Structure 1
Amino acid sequence: MLESIIASPEVVHYVCKRFGIHMSKKLGQNFLIRRSVVDEIVAAAELTAGEPVLEIGPGIGTLTQGLAQSGAAVTAVELDRRLLEVLDTTLAQYNNVRIIHGDVLKVNIPEIMNHKPFKVVANLPYYITTPIIMSLLEMKLPIERLVVMVQREVAERMVAQPGTKAYGALSVAVQYYTEPSIVMDVPPRAFMPAPEVTSAVICCRLREKPPVEVADEKLFFRVVKAAFAQRRKTFSNTMKTTGLDKETIASVLAKANIDGARRGETFSLQELADVANAWYALLQDK
C-alpha cells in the first residue's frame, strides 16, 4: 500500500476501511481520488527540492504525497486527531513530511515554518475557506504563493472584477495582497465522497507591495467592508455603517472625487483607496 498512489478510489477506499474512517461533513472532508489533479496542484506551486511548504488539512495524505514527491519540505497541519495514525502509515516512506496536530487558525505558523518564506498548498475545507485565506493574508506572513482548492464560486469571487455580481470584499482583499488566477476546475467525481459543487484550484502570487497606496490600511478595509455591507444601497448610504455622519461622508467623497450615488460593487481598488485616503486626510486636518 505504501508504494501506491494514495489519490485513487481503490486506495482511499482501502485506507478508510482499514482505519474505520468515516469522513466528517462537519470538517468538510472530501478526499481527492484523482492523481492528475494532485499533479496539477503541485505543478502550480512550482516547488523545488527542500523548499518549505505548508499544507492545511492533509486528510489521509492524497495531496501530501504529491508534495512530498516534489522534494519539498512539507509541514502539514491536521485538525482531526483520528487521521494522525493514518498519515503516519500512508506517508511512512517520506522523510520530508512533518505532521502537526492542530487548528491552522490557532497554531503559531511563523514558528512551525521556522520564520522563513514558504508556500501554502491545500485542499481547503469548504466551510472555513475564507477565514483561512484571510487569516493567512492579514498576518503578513512571508508566503510566496498560495495554491488552494476551493469551491468554484469562491474562486470566481477571488478573481472577480468591479461591476460583476461576484465582486465583493473578498475580491478586493485577495487582489490587494495577491495576483490570483484560476488554474483549473475540478468536478465533484474527483473526490470521495463527491461534494455537491464544482471545485477550482486557484493560484495566488503574493505581491511585493499592494497595487494601490493607502495611508492607513485599517481605514482602507473599513471602507471596503462598508462598500459591500448593503449591496443594493448607494455608497453614500453604506458609508454610514462606518459611523460617519452625512456631512463628513459628503466631505470625504468630494475630496476623493467620488460619486456617492454609485454602488460599492462598481468601485475599483484605486477608488476605494482614494476614499480611504481622503478620510485619512480629513482626520489629519482635525
Structure 2
Amino acid sequence: MDNTTQQIVNKYNFKFSKSLGQNFLIDDQVLRDIVTGAEVNNDDFIIEIGPGVGTLTKELLQVAKKVCAIELDKDLIPILNEELKEFENFELVNKDALKVNFDEIIGEEKSVKLVANLPYYVTTPIIVKLLTEGYKFKSLTIMIQKEVAERIDAKPSTKEYGALSLLVQYYCDTELVRKVSPSSFIPRPKVDSSVIRLNKLDGPRVKVDDEKLFFKIIRASFNMRRKTLWNALKSLGFSKDLLENALQECDIDPKRRGETLSIYEFANLSNCIHRYK
C-alpha cells in the first residue's frame, strides 16, 4: 500500500525538527517532476540527502539502479527502514552529509546523480562541498529556496548575480526545472522553492592559473557590491602598479563593479594578476 507523507508522519507520530529544517514534500506532481527533471534511469546510482520519510526516495527506487539516502535525524532511520524494506536497491546512511566522504559511498559506480530536497539551512555548504571536493557526480537535481536557485542561475549585472553564481557556473551548467509553492510541503515553509539541476561540466568552465586567487578575487568583488572593482581589489593588498597593469592588460575599466564581470572576465583578470604578482 502506498502511504502518503502525511499518513506516514501520523502513523509514527513523527515530530518535525525546526533545527534540522525539516519540510517534507506532499505534492505527487512535484515528486514526479523532480525524478523526471533529474533524468533518472536504471543505470543510475542516486544519492539523496535528507530523505525525510522516504516519499521521494520511493519514487527514485522504482527507476534507479540503487539509491543511497543520507539522513542525519536518527528518529527517521527506523521509519525509513520500515517504509522502504521492500526495496533491495535501498541503502541508508545515518550521518551528517557535510561530514560524509562521498567517494566512500560512490565506490566504483559510474553514473552517479544527486537528487535531494535539501534543508534550507545547509543548502549552500552542501553545494560547495559537492562541487569543490571533486566527486564524480553527473548532475545534482536539488530543491532549494527559490532565491538561492535564482542566485545560482543568475547572469552578470543582475541583483541575484554573485559569488555563488560564479562558483556553481565554474563547475556546472544550470537549468531551472520548476517552482514549488509552500503548500507542497508539511510543515509549510515561509518561502517559495525551486527545483534546479546542475549538470557537471567535464572540466572547469574557464582556465585559471590559480584557483584560490580566482575565487578570492570573486569574493572580494562581491563583498561590498557598490564598490568599484579598483577599491574592492585594493582591499586584497595588491599594489597600485600591479592593479593598474593587470586591469589595463585585461582591458577592464577599474571603475566597473564586480557584478558586471562575466566568469570569463574574472578568469582573465585573475590570470593577469597572477602573472604580475
TM range (shorter): over 0.9
Secondary structure at the aligned position of 2:215 is classed as helix
TM-score after normalising by structure 1: 0.93
* Root-mean-square deviation (Å): 1.3
What are the Cα deviations for residues 68-109 of structure 1, in whole angstroms up to 9, with x where unaligned?
Answer: 011331011001011000101111111111000001111111
SS of the equivalent of 1:221 reads helix
Distance in 1 of aligned mates of 2:240 and 2:21: 44
Q: Give the whole-Å Cα distance in 1 for the aligned partners of 2:241 and 2:276.
A: 12
The answer to whether the aligner puts 1:132 opposite 2:126 as a matched pair is yes
Q: Structure 2 vs 1, CA of residues 222 and 115 (structure 1 numbering), >3 Å: closer, same or farther?
A: farther
Deviations 1:27-73 (A, max 9, x none): 11000001111111111111221421110011110110111011331
Report deviation, 1:209. Answer: 2.1
| CA deviations over 1:102-141 (Å, ceiling 9, x no partner) | 0111111101111434110000001110110011000111
- Which residue type is aligned with residue 107 of structure 2? N
Q: How far apart in 2 are the matches of 1:228 and 1:71? A: 40
Are positions 1:90 and 2:70 aligned together? no
Aligned equivalent of 2:60: 67
Indicate conservation of the 8 Å contact 2:46/2:64, yes or no: no
What is residue 32 of structure 1 aligned with on the other side?
25
* Residues 200-211 of structure 1 aligned to structure 2 (within 5 Å): 200-211=194-205
What is the one-letter code of the residue matched to 1:31?
F
Partner of 2:114: 120
Q: In 1, are the aligned partners of 2:45 and 2:64 still within 8 Å (CA)?
A: no
Report the counterpart of residue 255 of structure 2 in structure 1: 261
1:181 corresponds in structure 2 to: 175
User: Could you say what secondary structure the match of 1:121 adopts?
Assistant: strand
After the TM superposition, which parts of structure 1 deviate over 6 Å for at least 4 consecutive aligned residues? none
Q: Give 1:43-58 correspondences, 5 Å limit.
A: 43-58=36-51
Give the Cα separation in 1 of the matches to 2:119 and 2:65: 23
Unaligned runs of 5+ in 2: none
1:239 and 2:233 are equivalent in the alignment: yes
- Does the 8 A contact of 2:220 with 2:232 survive in 1? yes
Q: Which residue is equivalent to 1:280?
A: 274
Matched, 1:212 2:169: no
Please tell me whether residue 76 in structure 1 is matched to residue 106 in structure 2.
no
Q: Deviations for 1:217-257, whole angstroms, at most 9, x for unmatched residues? A: 11111111111111011011111232323332222212222
SS of equivalent residue, structure 1 residue 105: helix
The corresponding residue for 2:217 is: 223
Q: Which of 146, 153, 157 pairs up with 1:152?
A: 146
2:44–2:65 CA contact under 8 A, matched in 1 = yes
Partner Cα distance (1:173, 1:50) in 2: 29
Paired with 1:37 and 1:92, the residues of 2 have a C-alpha distance of 24
Q: Tell me the CA shift for residue 15 of structure 1.
A: 1.9
Q: Could you tell me how far 1:184 is from its partner in structure 2?
A: 0.3
Corresponding pairs, count: 276
Alpha-carbon deviation of 1:216? 1.6
Could you tell me whether the CA contact under 8 Å between 2:6 and 2:26 is conserved in 1? no
Does structure 1 residue 271 correspond to structure 2 residue 249?
no
- 1:180/1:205 contact within 8 Å kept: yes
Rounded to whole Å, the distance in 2 between the matches of 1:166 and 1:20 is: 40
